[in-house]
């Protein structure tokens, strides 16, 4: 009955994706067992609003504590692996975090 909705004058807006999932097309387009360092850097860049490279310390490059919360949620949503703020603080570069996630996802797959 889509004609009825059009006849009423408006259609409901399309459902919006959560902000954390759409911060970077690279990360959002590649859910799976792990993210690459480049995808994590792109997520960080999208969240922080400043360029963050794969070997940059994410926090020195501009990621705030609120951004950290957004990043953990976005990563968890993208790969289905629970990630804590402490995990990210212990892996302050996108490359280190990607390696950590790869190891964590392999361990989770075997348990």
What domains, with CATH codes, occur in the chain?
20-105 (1.10.1200.10)
The radius of gyration computed from the CA coordinates of the chain, to the nearest angstrom, equals 17
Structure confidence by residue, pLDDT tens digits, 13-41: 343 333 433 344 444 434 455 899 999 99
Q: Taking a C-beta distance cutoff of 8 angstroms, is the pair 23, 70 a contact?
A: yes
User: What is the per-residue pLDDT across 75-108, written as a single tens digit (0 to 9) for each?
Assistant: 999 988 889 999 999 999 999 999 999 888 777 6
3-state secondary structure of 32: coil
Tell me how far CA of residue 66 lies from CA of 1, 8, 47, 89, 99, in angstroms: 43, 41, 10, 13, 23
Reported as a pLDDT band with limits 50, 70 and 90, residue 5 is: very low
């Amino acid at each position: 009955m889509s004609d009825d909705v059009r006849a009423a004058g408006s259609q409901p807006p399309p459902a919006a994706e959560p902000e954390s999932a759409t911060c970077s097309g690279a990360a959002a387009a590649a859910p799976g067992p792990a993210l690459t360092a480049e995808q994590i850097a792109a997520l960080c860049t999208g969240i922080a609003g400043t360029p963050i490279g794969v070997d940059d310390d994410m926090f020195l490059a501009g990621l705030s504590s609120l951004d950290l919360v957004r990043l953990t949620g976005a990563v968890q949503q993208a790969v289905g692996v629970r990630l804590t703020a402490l995990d990210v603080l212990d892996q302050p570069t996108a490359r280190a975090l990607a390696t950590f996630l790869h190891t964590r996802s392999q361990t989770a797959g075997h348990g």
